[in-house]
Structure 1
Amino acid sequence: MKFGGTSVGDAESIARVVDILARYHAEGHELAVVVSAMSGVTDRLHAIAAEAESSVEEPQIAAFIQALRAKHMKALEAVAPSQVEEVGAVIDERLWKLEHILTAVHVLHELTRRSKDYIVSYGERLSSVIVSAALRERGMPSVALDGCEAGLLTTDRHGDALVLPSSDARINSRVLPLLMDTVPVITGYMGCTPEGIVTTLGRSGSDYSGAVIGRGIDADEVWIWTDVDGVLTSDPRAIENVRVLPYISYREAMELSYFGAKVLHPKSIEPAMEKDIIVRVKNTFNPDHPGTVVRRQENREKRVVKAVTHIDRVALVNVNGVQMVGRPGTAKEIFSLLGDAGVNVMMISQASSQANISMIIEEADLAVAQDVLSGPVKAGLVREVTADRNVVAVAVVGAGMAGTPGISGRIFTALGNEGINVMMISQGSSEVNVSFVVKQQEHHRALQVLHDEFRLSEECDDE
């Protein structure tokens, strides 16, 4: 069971987590727990690390450490009052180490990716000991482990590391024996290289940690506890009448997570897929709701489309020029330049004339992309590179779309009838996802039009 930042955000939330775990523990389930940092803490760690590196004046490190201690001690005192002295000493020791590394960063005015990973991993290192103490307070034997102690070995790609296959045997030997009589509470988001260097797993990496732990112990199921009732048919902040999907397939979950559905991390599906482990998405604040079941079986409904999602804060980049027509290697050169610069290309579309390549990238990467693509322009390989920041990528997802005629026609007819202009279209060969780009000011309307077109707010008999 993995609990996100809002699920362990304060003492009241942690007590609710303990209630959930106590219920399933009493029913005889063997439980391994993965926790995120308390809500907001990781962002604050990123901010203080940046301040420590760049500040000419004395940064507010001591004040930050004091505030961080107050937040965690307040939670500890509420959920495990008999262990305040013992667990408080662990918290103080970890905060002492954190303060020293932040001071070193300031003295050197250098924040490497390696030292940044070490710093931002402290949110989980603090929350895990409090949740473990809260379980012991309720009479459940528990031990706190960091990701490295639990066996998560990763690549050395700091900030976005991948778990190595050799982790499974280590997790199995270190975590599985504990489950007979103990509830281990493991830090999400962090692991270490085979040399013992701390790494982090990227945005929402605790989901990934949970899935990897589940694979390593051959779990029957992996449960992702969050602050919504499950995977939704669309973004409730953008449109009305969204609905919880009772079942989705691994493929559908991956497509939705890649396209902005923040309930699941894209990398959290693959470890479960490898061993056919069921993934459940449930709400810590509404635990009796059945949530969403993610499984291999693809539930093909009459409605065929399952959900409509989107990614904002993206930019559309167009590379144009007749010089590209019939010239082998142009696309390779373009994408190699972007890849070498660390720019992730999220969507691609190429005209059959070969004179135009369109792509979607993160808006934050636009300046870098324009800079590296200026090389082919100067070399005469392409005529121009243009960009548009005010766009949103929309994806229509459903396993039932594969092999069903007319779905694209319905999508673009519905949008056309509402006067919504489509700037770019991309569809993979799996046909599980049809993606397109619209102007930012039209994306809420596009989502609502398609949600209504495929009647996604209505229950379906095939579910």
Structure 2
Amino acid sequence: MKFGGTSVGDEECIARVVSIIEQYRKEGNEIAVVVSAMSGVTDQLHAIAAEVESSKDTPPIEAFITSIRAKHESVLKAVAPDEAETVMVEIDKRLSNLRNILTAIHNLRELTPRSKDYIISFGERLSAQILSAALRQAGIKSQPLNGCQAGIVTNERHGCAQVLPESEPKIKSRVIPLMHDGVPVVMGYMGCTGDGIVTTLGRSGSDYSAAIVGAGIDADEIWIWTDVDGIMTSDPRIINDARVIPEISYLEAMELSYFGAEVLHPRTIEPAMQKGIPVRVKNTFNPSAKGSCVLAQAHRDSRVVKAITFIDKVSLVNLAGAQMFGRPGVARAIFTSLAESGVNVMMISQGSSEANISLIVDDDHLNAAVTAMNKVQLGGYIREVTFDKEVCVVAVVGVGMAGAPGIAGRIFTALGKAEVNVMMISQGSSEANVSFVVAHEDGRKALRVLHDEFRLSEDLSE
């Protein structure tokens, strides 16, 4: 069971989490827990790290430490009064380490990726101590484990580390023994290299941690506890009548998470898929709701489209030039240059004339992408590089689309009637996803139009 930041946001939330764990243990389940930082804490750690690096004046390190300490101490005393004094000693040790690294960064005026990972892992270092103490207060034996102690070994790519295969036997040997008579609480979002250097798994990486731990212990199921009732047909903040999807396939869930659905981390599904472990998404604040279950083969109802999502904060890069036509090595030059610049390409589209290639990249990667393409232009491969930041990507997802005629026609006819202009189209070979680019101002309209077109608010499973 993984509990997100809002699920452990305050003393009432943590008490609710303890109650959920107690209930399922009483039903005979052996449970391992992965926990995120308390809501807002990781963002604060990012902010203070940036501030101490750039501040010419004395940065507010002491004020920050005092504030973080008070927040966690207050919650700890509420949920585990008998454990509070002992646990605060451990928390103070961690806060002392945090203070020291922040001071060192300010003195050096340098924040390395390695130092940043160390700093932003502290949210989980603190929350796991509190949840574990709350479980002990409830009479459940519990031990907090950081990523290293739990056996999560990663490569050295700080900020978005990849978990290595040697993690599985380590997790199995370290976590399972603690489950027989208690509940281990693993700090999410973090692992370590083979040399013991702290790494983080990227934003929302606690989901990935949960999948890695679940696969490592050969769990019957992996449960992601969050603050929504499950995976929705679309973003409920935009589509008021968005519906919970009871069952969805691994492939559909991966496509949705990659294209902006925030319920699951994009890498969460892969470890579960390799072991065939169902992933269940549940609401901590409405635990009686059935939630969504991600399976190898989900139940197929009469609709071919399962969900529609979109990503903003992306940019469109267009490459043009007649010299690209029929010339071997153009694609290699383009994508080698992008890779060497650390640019992740989210979507690709190429015209049959071979004279134009369009790419979608994250806004944060735009400058690096344009710089890389300007170098390729100097090499004579392309004539012109242009970009547009005012765009978003809409993705229509459903395994039922594979082999079903007329789906693309319905999509683009509906958009045409709504006067939504499509700037770029891409479809994967699995046919489970049709994604396209529209102007940012048209993104929400496109979402509503297609949600209505495919009647996703209606429950057709009956």
TM-score between both structures, scaled by the size of structure 2: 0.99
Distance, in Å, in 2 between the alignment partners of 1:7 and 1:461 is 30
Please name the residue that 1:248 is paired with.
Answer: 248
Q: How many Å separate the matches in 1 of 2:197 and 2:104? A: 18
Q: Which residue of 1 aligns with 2:133?
A: 133
Question: Could you tell me which residue of structure 1 aligns to residue 13 of structure 2?
Answer: 13
Alignment of 1:185-264 (within 5 A): 185-264=185-264
Alpha-carbon displacement from aligned partner over 1:89-115 (angstroms, at most 9, x marks no partner):
010010001100111111111111111
**Residue equivalent to 1:114:** 114
CA separation in 2, counterparts of 1:378 and 1:218?
52
> Is the contact between residue 298 and residue 399 of structure 1 (CA under 8 Å) also seen in structure 2?
no
Residue 265 of structure 1 is matched in structure 2 by 265
Which aligned pairs between 1:420-431 and structure 2 lie closer than 5 A?
420-431=420-431
Are the equivalent residues in 1 in contact too, given 2:37–2:127 (CA < 8 A)?
yes
Rounded Cα–Cα distance in structure 1 between residues aligned with 2:36 and 2:163: 17
- Are 1:48 and 2:43 counterparts? no
Q: Distance in 1 between matches of 2:402 and 2:53?
A: 51
Output the CA distance in 2 between the equivalents of 1:425 and 1:442: 15
Aligned residues: 462
Give secondary structure in 2 for the equivalent of 1:237.
coil
1:213-362 equivalent positions in 2, closer than 5 A = 213-362=213-362
State the distance in 2 between where 1:380 and 1:320 align: 11
Matches of 1:10 and 1:221, distance apart in 2: 27
User: Which residue matches 1:404?
Assistant: 404
Letter in 2 for 1:177: P
Q: 2:248 & 2:304 partners in 1: Cα distance? A: 12
Q: CA deviation at 1:336?
A: 1.2
Q: CA deviation at 1:3?
A: 0.3
Query: SS at the partner of 1:7?
Result: helix
Does residue 183 in structure 1 map to residue 183 in structure 2? yes
Question: Post-superposition shift, 1:46?
Answer: 1.0
C-alpha distance in structure 1 between counterparts of 2:24 and 2:411, whole Å: 44
Partner of 1:29: 29
Q: CA deviation at 1:47?
A: 1.1
Q: Displacement of 1:84 after TM fit?
A: 1.3
Aligned partner of residue 83 in structure 2, secondary structure: helix
Secondary structure class of the residue paired with 2:6? coil
Cα displacement (A) at 1:379: 3.2
Aligned to 1:443: 443
Amino acid at match of 2:98: L
Compare 355-364 and 299-308 and name the one that shifted more: 299-308
Unaligned stretches of 5+ residues in structure 2: none
Q: How does 1:344-423 map to 2 (within 5 A)?
A: 344-423=344-423
Displacement of 1:398 in angstroms is 0.3
Offset of residue 298 of structure 1:
3.5
**For 1:238 and 1:313, how far apart are their aligned partners in 2?**
16
1: CA distance, partners of 2:376 / 2:15: 58
Q: Is the 8 A contact 2:337 2:376 kept in 1?
A: no
Give the TM-score normalised by the residue count of structure 1.
0.99
Residue in 1 aligned with 2:459? 459
| Shift, 1:376, TM fit | 2.2
- Structure 2: which amino acid aligns with 1:303? R
Rounded Cα–Cα distance in structure 1 between residues aligned with 2:300 and 2:66? 54
Distance 2:279 2:388 in 1: 38
SS of the residue 1:81 aligns to: coil
The Cα shift of 1:214 comes to 0.5
| CA-CA distance at 1:340 after TM superposition | 1.1
Measure, in 1, the Cα distance between the counterparts of 2:284 and 2:423.
40
Q: CA deviation at 1:197?
A: 0.6
Q: Secondary structure at the match of 1:177?
A: helix
Secondary structure of 1:404's aligned partner: coil
- The question of whether the paired residues in 2 share the 8 Å contact of 1:349 and 1:426 is answered with yes
What secondary structure, in the 3-state scheme, does the structure 2 residue paired with 1:267 have? Answer: coil
Distance 2:228 2:298 in 1: 23
Per-residue deviation, residues 378-431 of structure 1 (Å, max 9, x unmatched): 333211111111111000000100011111111111111111110000001100
List per-residue Cα deviations over 1:212-263 (Å, max 9, x = no partner): 1001111000000000000000011122210000000000000000000010
Separation of aligned partners in 2, 1:377 and 1:162 = 33
Residue type matched to 1:257 in 2? S
User: What is the alpha-carbon distance in structure 2 between the residues aligned to residue 128 and residue 4 of structure 1?
Assistant: 12
DSSP-derived class of the 1:175 partner: helix
